[in-house]
Each structure stands twice: as C-alpha cells, then as structure tokens.
Chain A
C-alpha cells in the first residue's frame, strides 16, 4: 500500500513536469490556433541553454532561470516575428493556416539538426549540481528532490501565466485575440504583436521546463521528440488552450506511467496512455478542461 503512495507522489511530480513541457504548446495553440511542431525543439534549446548556463558557471540549476527565461523569450519572440509572421500575413483569410504548421515542422528539423551539428550527438548530464541524485526519505518512501523542485516550478509557472492572462492588460489582449482575432483587431489590438508575445511566453515556459529537467535528466539533440509526443497527448487530454488543463493532463499521464507498472509491464502503460488519449478524443474532443464551443 505504501508503495502505491510512493508511486503516486512520483507520478504527480513527474507529471507536473510533463505539464510544464506542454504549457507553451497549449498557450501557443490557444492564441495562434496553430500546432507548434517545433515545441519539442524549443524545449531542447531550453535544456541546452540551462545545461550550459549551469555547466559553465557552476551556479544552482534554478539560478539559471535568470538567464534562460529572457533568452528563451527573445528567441521565441524573434522566431515568430521573423519566420512565422510573414506566413500568417500571406494567409490572412485562413483561420488555421496549414502552412504555418509546415513551417514549424521545418523549424523543428533545422533546430534539431543544428544542435546535432553544434553540440554533437553526445548525451550530457549535469554531473555536479546540488540537486542531482538528492532524495528525501520518509521511512520506506523516497522522493526525488529535483522532481520536487520541478513540481514547484511547474505550479508556479502555470499560476503566473494564468494570472498574467487574467489580470494584466496584455493578458486581456491575448485572450481577446485568442477568442476572435478579427474582433480584437477591430478593437485596436495589433494581433501580430500579440502573437509575438504569446510565442515568446510559450518558448520561455519551454525554457523553464528545460531548467526543471536538466538536474536529473540528460540532454541530447533529439530529446525534444520524446517530450513532444507526450506534450501533444497532454494538451489534448487537458483541452487545447487550457493552462490548468495542461498541468492536470500532465499529472494524469505521470500517474498512469508511475502507478501502472506496478501491476503490469512499463510497455503496457504507454499503450494505456494512448488509449486514454483516443477515449478522450471520442468522448470529449475538447479535452477534460477545454472550452466546448470555440466560435
């Protein structure tokens, strides 16, 4: 019984980090109505940024956020402004421009292969950092300290993004654009600027996820792909565009992955996650926490 509790805790912690990796994906979709296939690559860039920031300076991994958040924000902002915006402008009449999806796929390939070229195919881990390998032990229960930090980072990030969207003027403008971009434009909102900001924030959350992952995970050029697939499942589970949904969707996947293997092999839990994904698509296509009607 005590084991179930231990696995449950691990599942929630790891799941919240999955949710954090998917946060940017859901935000960008909610606003731009475009699936960003390059999201995994942005996570990869975030992980490398965090890795090098810590490896070169030797600071506490979470101190790297000071550097990673602005760098990643600017990176996302610039990517949207330079690469994606022109396509949007060319396809003004289309609500969900397919070409943008193709462009993000291109960005994904370019980023992954660029990092393969620059950093090489090696697997890297932060060997000497204050979080690596740390465990809290309560009798038989062991809890990973870096995952606990990741959990805190995920909740804090989701809360911050949520409050930003609800309480600030820019946040309201973002929500307005996501509801109806033409109407928002008529109200004097520059939709392309909103896209830049949304993309920047989405990329910055991928950077935060990178910081949460590097203390216990390894970094390599195609690492994004592993989290990307999970990210899509989580986002659909939680409801596309829903911030809280991403976090809870992540936790659901995490708990299945963690508790499941105790009664079956780890291979089966993967199948169960996909089965749940299909079930949600059949029964409640808008996701567990998504908005049902989207004009």
Chain B
C-alpha cells in the first residue's frame, strides 16, 4: 500500500511537471488528443438483420470520420469521437446485457441504437437507470418515447406517424386517380414493430371506413411464405399493407408474384422493403410497390446527393433510411457535445434536449429541422412515400408523396396493372 502511495505521489509530481511544460509548449492539437467521447453503439451486426446493422455502422463511421477529421468537438478542446460497437443479434436480452457492459465496463458517455424496436425498448430502461443519453436513430415503436424517460432521443418518425401517413397517402391517391379502395389486408412480422403497426392500421382503417379482410402476423424467420400468400390471394384485398424485415420482404414479394397476387396497391413500411439488396433480390417482382421511408436518394435537399455519392463510393451501396438516420444521429450528438462543452452525461442530455438543428450535413433527410419534444421525439421527422418503377435505367425508388416532393415529371402507376 505504501509502495503504491509512493508511486502515486511520484506520478502526481511527474504529471504536474508535464502539465507545466504542457502549458508552455504543448500545441493545441497535441493536448486535444487526450479527451475522447466514447459512444456505445448497439446494432444487429450478426443474425437475420445483420445487413441493416452493418449499414448503420458504416453510416456512423463515415460521420465520425468527417467530424474527427474536421477537428473533433471544439468546445472540448478538439475531443475525438470514439465508436464502440456491440452486437445485439436482434435479441432483446443480448441488447440489454451489452448496454450494461458498455456503460459499466467501457464507460461510454452516450449510447445509440438498436434498430430493432424490441431491443431498443428494454435498453431505454438501462440508459435511464444510469442517466446515459440514448440516441435512437430509427426504432420506431411509439412506446419507446412514451415512458416518461428523460434520456431517450429519437431521430426518425414514430410508427403512429408512419401509419398515419400511409393512410393519408391512400386517401390522396384515391382522390387523385379517382379509384375507389374498399378492402385492406394487413400482413406483418410478429415482433414489436409489426404488431405496433398493425394496431395503428386497425384503428385508422376503422376511422377511414375500410373493410379489413385479412390480419395476419407471421414469423420473420419463416422459410416458406406461400401459405400466407395463399391467404392474401383468397382474401383478395384492394390494398395490401406490409411490415417486413429483409429476408421475409424478399420472400413475400417473390412469392406474391409467383402466385400472381395483384392488389391495386401494395404498401411496405420501410424496413426490409427499403433494404439496399431488396431490389436486386426481387427484380421485376417489386415493380409498382409503394414504400414509406424517411429518405430517398432523389430527395431534394442540399448535400444529399454528395453525401450519398461519398457513401456509395466507400461502401458500394446507397444510403437508406436506417443509414441516413444513423448518420444524422452522430451529427446531432456532435452538435449537442459542442453546446454541452462537457462529457458529463447529464450535461450532454440537457444539450440534446435543447437541440435545434437546421443546417449542416444532418439536414439531408426530408426533415425541416431536428428538434426534440419533451418525450425525446424529433418533432420535425417527416416521411415520404416512394414507388418502385423502371424509368429506363433499371428499377429505382421514385418519390411520389407528398405531392410537393414528387419527382418532377413522374406519374405514379396506380392502381397496379392487373394483367
């Protein structure tokens, strides 16, 4: 013990001298190297949603690289952001364990994640308990920001807004194309996300007077979806609303085409339908499908095209909803750190709560600003609806709704051809 004290004393003296020397000689850049903002990120890096987890990781890394290259967080003496990734495998219990580890062992200042709503939801409780700010780019389940927690901040629109916009879109399309839609079918993955959507759909369908002809949750791990497709075929709905992860979105789209099921409109809910490999894996079968997303490559925003080009060059595919929100999340964090000027989680949280971001790379989404309400939800999160179609350059996603965001010169194909 005494030995230790001696060493401690000696090192204190050593550092005192060093600090003195530092005061005189050290260049700002050299001193800056000492402070690091540790950000813990929980993502599904393996398992069924590994693809989307990897996209989120790449987008975060690109943002961090840009921020660090531009001199880090200036109010913290140019502190660099350090990313620590943990794999949730899409499992809630794994996510919770990793959150505990990141907070207790890695001593992270901030958490982000976890893509799967079912993982994010229990992790919010861990973050709240330790008072660690938790930035949620895309987990959309309403309940994530409905617990009265002070540390959770969500960038994307919550699912009640997604479903609200899907039905607003249906209403607008009927008017614009003078086509009546009467029956709807709901087919969704049986996790938190799908079930959350379905609940909203039921309410909205009742209010709008649609007849629900099918309400079908299915396991996302299904290896054969033809039984579900048969049910859709026999129910013969005008509109098919889907909530799917990637593997099942692909399987469902291909199987629907095989069984020649052609509702007037099929509307996805982002997720698997927005996966960059979805179009490659479904090809023509996905033509005329509608999908609701927070971002599209043809979005009319400054920097959006350049940032997407840079991302595509680096990683080989386009940005998608998940990756855009992840990218934005890091810039929102950087902005809050600048204003907090401290690594104290509470100071960072308070700064995040006061966020009002209207400029910079974070503005590539269709959001007018980023501003959190008292529950931690980004008030300005907005959504667009796209249609998959071939405009002579292969299949692409074309923004069609809201009408003021529609790609110039494009007329949506609605209802889908019945041949």
Contact = CB atoms under 8 A, between A and B. Distances in A.
A125 B251 CA distance: 10
A261 interface: yes
Contacts of B222: 257, 266, 270
B217 A227 contact: no
A83 interface: no
A107 to B, nearest CB: 15
A3 interface: yes
B282 interface: yes
A133 B254 contact: yes
A124 interface: yes
Given A121-B54, A222-B46, A222-B50, A265 B218 contact: yes
B234 interface: yes
Interface in B266-289: 275-278, 280-283, 285
A13 to B, nearest CB: 9
B228 A267 contact: no
Contact of A123 (B46, B234, B259, B277): B277
Contacts of A18: 223
Contacts of A225: 47-48
Interface string A131-164: 0010100000010100000000000000000000
Contact of B190 (A229, A262, A267): A267
Interface in B248-262: 250-251, 254, 257-260
A218 B54 CA distance: 19
Interface residues of B, number: 42
Determine chain B's interface SS by DSSP, over half rule: helix
B224 interface: yes
A53 B419 CA distance: 34
A295 to B, nearest CB: 35
A168 interface: no
Contacts of A122: 51, 276-277, 280-281
A220 B276 CA distance: 13
B119 to A, nearest CB: 16
Contacts of A121: 50-51, 53-54
B227 A265 contact: no
Interface in B180-228: 190, 215-219, 221-228
B50 A221 contact: yes
Contacts of B219: 266-267, 270
A159 to B, nearest CB: 23
A277 interface: no
Interface of B: 46-48, 50-51, 53-54, 190, 215-219, 221-228, 230-231, 234, 246-247, 250-251, 254, 257-260, 275-278, 280-283, 285
20 contacts: A3-B234, A6-B230, A10-B224, A10-B227, A14-B226, A116-B46, A123-B247, A123-B250, A125-B283, A127-B283, A135-B258, A144-B226, A144-B258, A216-B258, A218-B247, A226-B223, A258-B226, A261-B227, A261-B230, A266-B217
Interface of A: 3, 6-7, 10-11, 14, 18, 112-113, 116, 121-125, 127, 133, 135, 142, 144, 216-218, 220-223, 225-227, 229-230, 254, 257-262, 265-267, 269-270
